[in-house]
């Protein structure tokens, strides 16, 4: 029953959503013990089925085994361990001081299970982005319906076997976009979507009509800014790893590099050297280099590479039958070209020389706010200028994408790159209901809280509310003293 393939609203998926909601409303998911048990079971399933997931990722994306372990499975296991260590403190209610106005009562804010969360995950990191929100949902005492991408069918099938076997709080619904509509119509309590900005707008609009709150993890052109103070070789190697892992199909990968003109030539040479060092003279033969997900995305990348008016200094080779596009470096493309206006989402790295940090800020500021800004520098003033002069979901210094390996570090966007946060405490908070509690004893029942108030009562109430004392308005009723 838990592996759903349905296109008819009100079918099996609606029944499963009802079952999950009943599980939440039974109160069973509220206890800390239940939440920890589900996280342990999920962790055990990921470790046990690691080989199955690695093989599926290789089929769908040509993802190398080591890369799959590091960026897909291992990072989720580390997140589970982090959440388990801190969850007891996170879910504890927060006391709120009631002051004289609320005396003798007590108030607090508790974190309750939100309900059923719909997770719409993409194809580029189908395990990481499909399971990570489930970790937050289980930690919050909520349940999850996971809709994997149909573009990664082998991994979707593997998750359809793994997740329901690990926990009764998870359903996997395979299929196309109609599954999202069906789940929303079934009455989920939150939508967690990861994907492109264009599709995110459509999904958010559909959720908005049903008043379903959303977390959106979208995309954008994430810039890397390299100044003249940093070692070009070290910066190049970190950027090359962040860019070309998963064949560049990463939403937080450096999309383009703005490098100080004094070191631009050396930096570009070091980028080419790093590509050769990582993937060899022929990356197609490298066991550590992935593939484009399908022909449609490969065609899109080839179209973006046309008419950029720059110089291809490395790569450019393509084998459509193998879904292969070589790691490609383009020097000085036109800023008006598609290469510099659209999110690349593939193994193509533009390198543009700039005169100074203000010019870099102009280029970055002309594009929508990205998920990440990467600063490569040893100068504290440059870090401050880039941090204060840009808007992004995250700001990172001398790293490129490796922030994803830090368990508990919140992830999210701003503007067109997304809304809301995931992972760590913020991920659990996002999938919890923050419920206010206030209780007063039945005795004493203070007359001060009820009319008629009179001058003395009004004066006392103003003091309780920290309002400045004022004379009675002329003509106002006096009431009792």
Query: What are 302-360's pLDDT values in tens digits?
Result: 999 999 999 999 999 999 999 999 999 999 999 999 999 999 999 999 999 999 999 99
- Closest by CA to 290, choosing from 256, 326, 318, 315, is 326
Domain with CATH 3.40.309.10 in the chain: 223-408
Range 222-231 average pLDDT: 97
- What's the CATH fold of domain 223-408? Aldehyde Dehydrogenase; Chain A, domain 2 (3.40.309)
Among 93-97, 301-305, 449-453, the minimum mean pLDDT is found in: 449-453
| Residue 171 confidence (pLDDT) | 97
107 backbone dihedrals φ, ψ, rounded to 5°: -135, 150
Query: Which CA distances in Å does 38 have to 33, 45, 112?
Result: 9, 11, 16
Ranges of beta strands (E only) in 315-431 are: 318-319, 324-325, 328-331, 348-354, 372-376, 394-397, 411-412, 418-419, 421-422
| Residue 73: cis peptide before it, omega within 30 degrees of 0 | no
Query: Which CA distances in Å does 237 have to 247, 288, 404?
Result: 15, 15, 17
Q: Which tokens hold the place of 239?
A: 């950027």
Domain with CATH 3.40.605.10 in the chain: 3-218+423-434
Q: Where are the alpha helices (DSSP H) in 92-152?
A: 99-102, 128-139
Tell me which residues are annotated as active site.
Answer: 217, 251
Query: Which CA distances in Å does 415 have to 84, 341, 396?
Result: 31, 17, 18
Can you spell out the DSSP letters for 278-320? HH-S-GGG-TT----S-HHHHHHHHHHTTT--SEEEE---EEG
Range 432-451 average pLDDT: 84
In sequence order, which residues have a C-beta less than 8 Å from that of residue 112 and are 6 or more positions away?
A: 30, 141, 432, 433, 434, 435
Count of Cβ atoms closer than 10 Å to residue 291 Cβ: 21
| Residue 444 confidence (pLDDT) | 79
pLDDT digits (tens, 9 = 90+) for 352-371: 999 999 999 999 999 999 99
pTM of the prediction? 0.90
Q: What is the CATH number of domain 3-218+423-434?
A: 3.40.605.10
Residue 232 has pLDDT above 60, yes or no: yes
| Residue 452 confidence (pLDDT) | 85
CA–CA dist 95, 100 (Å, integer): 16
| Residue 350 confidence (pLDDT) | 98
- Closest by CA to 205, choosing from 222, 187, 223, 193, is 193
Buried b (16+ CB within 10 A) or exposed e, 29-65: beeeebbbebbebbbebbeebbebbbebbbebbbbbe
In sequence order, which residues have a C-beta less than 8 Å from that of residue 80 and are 6 or more positions away?
A: 39, 42, 43, 46, 135
| Residue 470 confidence (pLDDT) | 62
pLDDT digits (tens, 9 = 90+) for 97-142: 988 778 888 999 999 999 999 999 999 999 999 999 999 999 999 9
């Amino acid at each position: 029953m838990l592996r759903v393939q349905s296109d008819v609203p009100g079918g099996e998926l609606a029944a499963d959503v009802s079952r999950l909601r009943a599980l939440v409303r039974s109160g069973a998911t509220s206890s800390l013990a239940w939440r920890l048990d589900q996280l342990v079971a999920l962790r055990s399933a990921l470790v046990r089925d690691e080989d199955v997931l690695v093989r599926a990722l290789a089929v769908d994306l040509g993802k190398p085994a080591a890369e799959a372990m590091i960026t897909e499975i291992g990072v989720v296991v580390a997140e589970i361990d982090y959440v388990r260590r801190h969850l007891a403190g996170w879910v504890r209610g927060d006391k709120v001081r009631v002051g004289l106005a609320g005396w003798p009562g007590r108030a607090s804010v508790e974190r309750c299970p939100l309900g059923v969360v719909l997770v719409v995950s993409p194809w580029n990191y189908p395990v990481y982005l499909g399971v990570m929100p489930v970790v937050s949902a289980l930690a919050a005492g909520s349940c999850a319906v996971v809709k994997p991408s149909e573009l990664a069918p082998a991994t979707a099938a593997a998750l359809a076997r793994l997740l329901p076997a690990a926990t009764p709080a998870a359903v996997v619904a395979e299929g196309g976009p109609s599954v999202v509509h069906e789940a929303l119509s079934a009455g989920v309590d939150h939508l967690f979507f990861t994907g492109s900005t264009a599709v995110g707008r459509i999904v958010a609009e559909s959720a908005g009509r049903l008043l379903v709150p959303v977390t959106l993890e979208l995309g954008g052109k994430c810039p890397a800014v390299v100044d003249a103070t940093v070692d070009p070789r070290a910066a190049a190697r970190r950027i090359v790893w962040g860019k070309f892992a998963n064949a560049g199909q990463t939403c937080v990968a450096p999309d383009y590099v703005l490098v100080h003109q004094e070191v631009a030539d050396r930096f570009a040479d070091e980028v080419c050297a790093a590509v050769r060092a990582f993937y060899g003279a022929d990356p197609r033969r490298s066991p550590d280099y992935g593939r484009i997900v399908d022909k449609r995305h490969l065609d899109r990348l080839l179209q973006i590479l046309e008419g950029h008016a720059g110089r291809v200094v490395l790569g450019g080779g393509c084998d459509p039958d193998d879904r292969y596009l070589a790691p490609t470096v383009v020097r000085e493309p036109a800023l008006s070209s598609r290469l510099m206006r659209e999110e690349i989402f593939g193994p193509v790295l533009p390198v543009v020389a700039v005169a100074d940090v203000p010019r870099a800020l102009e280029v970055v500021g002309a594009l929508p706010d990205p998920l990440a800004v990467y600063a490569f520098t040893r100068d504290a003033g440059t870090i401050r200028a880039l941090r204060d002069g840009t808007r992004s979901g995250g700001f990172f210094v001398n790293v490129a994408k490796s922030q994803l390996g830090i368990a508990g570090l919140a992830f999210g966007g701003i503007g067109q790159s997304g809304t809301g946060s995931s992972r760590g405490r913020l991920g659990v908070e996002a999938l919890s209901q923050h419920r206010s509690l206030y209780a007063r004893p039945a005795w004493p029942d203070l007359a001060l809280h009820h009319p008629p108030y009179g001058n003395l009562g009004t004066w006392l109430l103003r003091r309780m509310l920290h309002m400045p004392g004022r004379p009675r308005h002329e003509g106002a009723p006096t009431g009792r003293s």
